């Protein structure tokens, strides 16, 4: 259908009197992505119809009810065609009340509306412990654009529809939906909803093995083929370490197992005291470093008082204070972190799990991104262990390069971003002290440290 021809007769008399906005598409394509999802516009616009489309898109002219929408997210048939599951699946009166309670999703420059509430599809509804949860497929529309979402609502167990609150939304293309919330003073929950025919599982808790691998607690597995797993979480002192999976025909697929957590504010004074003791007489912003350590301990599931902090190096990167430090619990592997920044925030440069044996003899290195951007560069920072005077770096396809370390154990070299490389530290007499790979660029800021090869040394 030619949109220009179809709309001309209806709109031509009104278009001339309107002040048109600027071309909407560059602004649309450049906006911030919605939390936990990405929308992409793939829209071709006939030049003569652009003004009319702009008026419709931004509401200057009401959208005709018959006008088609331009989908920017495909649907997920396997999940959406699955039956409604959960303990509330048969409560039709509550579900119909919930259909009317679902809210539109306005944003700063966009107003995503629910054009047809009868198209809302319930995928899961249940009371899990002290919480009531519902997962829905919700059609959304902004002007000509349509973008359905998988939306979670939460309330207290037994809550009426009007007492439910939206807590998360993800793309309608996602193969499964997960939700988890823990608290310091009350039970929480974790739920996986996958397509019928899959088997879901949730594991809560893990250890950083001395062998340099993550060892997860045994999982709770939902009914075979149901696609559902539900766990009531005990009160947690920090965000739990959840692992969620779906299995079909013997093939296991990991899911995003992140969890929210509610509890008291971190003991910043305690972390600053630990950081001050570890820094010794090194010149460094004690409060800032304490917050770096606190942030990395929290995301790694380590509580204040149960780990040892060791500062391997401090210096300057991009004219900002920088540090390489390790955290370890007795009998476990060693967590290595590098960061640079200040009291208002820092950039995580390295996040790596090391085997306990020989961790202190290993050189450690990391690749730098462009400051203020995510663009990879060829700059590589190398830090030698105590007693090392040189480090030999061997990049794939090139001859080894030996770097002399300065008095702090620091050296810098250049390696193309996608090129694998290893480094070996040497004592003054030439003795090899330890060898470590230089991690490639990857998004390792979420998930359990060491759970994938990108954030550990061992295969």
Question: Which domain-ending residue is among 243, 262, 281?
Answer: 262
Q: What is the dihedral of CA 66, 71, 76, 80, to 10 degrees?
A: -30
Looking at the fold, whether 223 and 276 belong to one and the same domain comes out as no
Q: For residue 41, what are the domain limits?
A: 3-71
Looking at the fold, whether 89 and 199 belong to one and the same domain comes out as yes
Q: What was the pLDDT predicted at 444?
A: 58
Could you please report the per-residue DSSP string of 276-287?
A: HHHHTT----HH
Residues 411, 363: Cα–Cα separation, whole Å: 11
Q: Which residue has the tokens 């550990």?
A: 456
| Cβ pair 135, 151 in contact under 8 A | yes
Looking at the fold, whether 252 and 357 belong to one and the same domain comes out as no
Q: What was the pLDDT predicted at 432?
A: 97
| pTM for the whole structure | 0.77
Q: What was the pLDDT predicted at 310?
A: 98
Q: Which residues of the chain have pLDDT under 50?
A: 1-74
Residues 256, 205: Cα–Cα separation, whole Å: 15
Count of structural domains, the chain = 3
Looking at the fold, whether 313 and 394 belong to one and the same domain comes out as yes
Q: Partners of 410 in the beta sheet?
A: 383
Looking at the fold, whether 98 and 201 belong to one and the same domain comes out as yes
pLDDT tens, position by position, 419-430: 999 999 999 999
Q: What was the pLDDT predicted at 16?
A: 38
Looking at the fold, whether 144 and 242 belong to one and the same domain comes out as yes
Q: C-alpha distances in angstroms, 50 versus 21, 24, 103, 191?
A: 11, 9, 30, 45
Looking at the fold, whether 198 and 63 belong to one and the same domain comes out as no
Question: Which domain-ending residue is among 54, 71, 88?
Answer: 71
Q: At what angle do helices 3-15 and 50-57 cross, to 10 degrees?
A: 70
Residues 132, 200: Cα–Cα separation, whole Å: 20
Question: Which domain-ending residue is among 195, 228, 262?
Answer: 262
Looking at the fold, whether 22 and 156 belong to one and the same domain comes out as no
Looking at the fold, whether 409 and 437 belong to one and the same domain comes out as yes
Looking at the fold, whether 242 and 273 belong to one and the same domain comes out as no
Strand bridging mode 177-183 / 260-262: parallel
Going edge to edge, which strands form the sheet with 376-383? Answer: 364-369, 376-383, 410-414
Looking at the fold, whether 203 and 283 belong to one and the same domain comes out as no
Looking at the fold, whether 136 and 205 belong to one and the same domain comes out as yes
Q: What's the mean pLDDT when you consider all of the chain?
A: 85
For 50-88, letters b (16+ CB in 10 Å) and e give: ebbbbbbbbebbebeeeeebbebbebbebbeebebbbeb
């Amino acid at each position: 259908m030619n949109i220009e021809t179809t709309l001309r007769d209806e709109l031509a008399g009104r278009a001339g009197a309107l002040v048109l906005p600027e071309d909407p598409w560059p602004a649309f394509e450049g906006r911030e992505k919605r939390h936990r999802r990405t929308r992409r516009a793939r829209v071709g616009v006939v030049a003569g119809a652009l003004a009319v489309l702009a008026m419709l898109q931004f509401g200057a002219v009401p959208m005709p009810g018959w006008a088609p929408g331009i989908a920017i997210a495909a649907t997920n048939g396997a999940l959406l065609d699955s039956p409604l599951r959960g303990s509330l699946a048969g409560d039709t009166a509550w579900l119909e009340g919930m259909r009317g309670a679902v809210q539109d999703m306005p944003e700063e420059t966009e107003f995503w509306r629910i054009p047809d509430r009868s198209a809302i599809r319930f995928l899961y509804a249940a009371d899990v412990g002290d919480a009531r949860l519902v997962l829905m497929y919700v059609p959304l529309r902004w002007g000509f654009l349509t973008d359905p979402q998988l939306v979670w609502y939460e309330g207290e167990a037994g809550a009426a529809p009007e007492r439910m609150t939206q807590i998360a939304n993800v793309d309608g293309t996602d193969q499964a939906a997960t939700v988890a919330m823990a608290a310091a003073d009350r039970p929480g929950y974790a739920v996986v909803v996958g397509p019928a025919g899959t088997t879901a599982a949730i594991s809560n808790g893990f250890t950083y093995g001395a062998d340099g691998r993550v060892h997860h607690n045994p999982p709770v597995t939902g009914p075979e083929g149901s696609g559902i797993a539900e766990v009531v979480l005990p009160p947690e002192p920090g965000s739990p370490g959840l692992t969620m999976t779906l299995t079909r025909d013997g093939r296991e697929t990991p899911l995003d197992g992140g969890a929210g957590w509610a509890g008291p504010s971190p003991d910043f004074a305690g972390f600053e005291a630990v950081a001050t003791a570890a820094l010794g007489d090194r010149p460094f912003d004690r409060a800032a470093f304490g917050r770096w350590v606190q942030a990395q301990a929290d995301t790694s599931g380590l509580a204040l008082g149960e780990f040892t902090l060791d500062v391997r190096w401090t210096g300057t990167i991009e004219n900002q204070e920088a540090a390489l430090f390790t955290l370890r619990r007795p009998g476990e592997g060693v967590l290595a972190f590098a960061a640079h920044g200040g009291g208002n925030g820092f950039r995580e440069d390295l996040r790596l799990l090391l085997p306990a044996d020989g961790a202190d003899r290993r050189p450690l290195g990391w690749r730098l991104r462009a400051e203020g951007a995510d663009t990879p560069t060829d700059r590589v920072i190398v830090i030698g262990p105590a007693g090392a005077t040189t480090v030999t770096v061997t990049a794939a396809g090139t001859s080894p390069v030996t770097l002399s370390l300065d008095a702090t154990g620091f050296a810098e070299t250049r390696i193309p971003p996608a090129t694998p490389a290893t480094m070996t530290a040497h004592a003054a007499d030439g003795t090899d002290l330890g060898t470590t790979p230089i991690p490639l660029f990857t998004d390792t800021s979420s998930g359990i440290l060491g759970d994938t090869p990108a954030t550990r040394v061992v295969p």
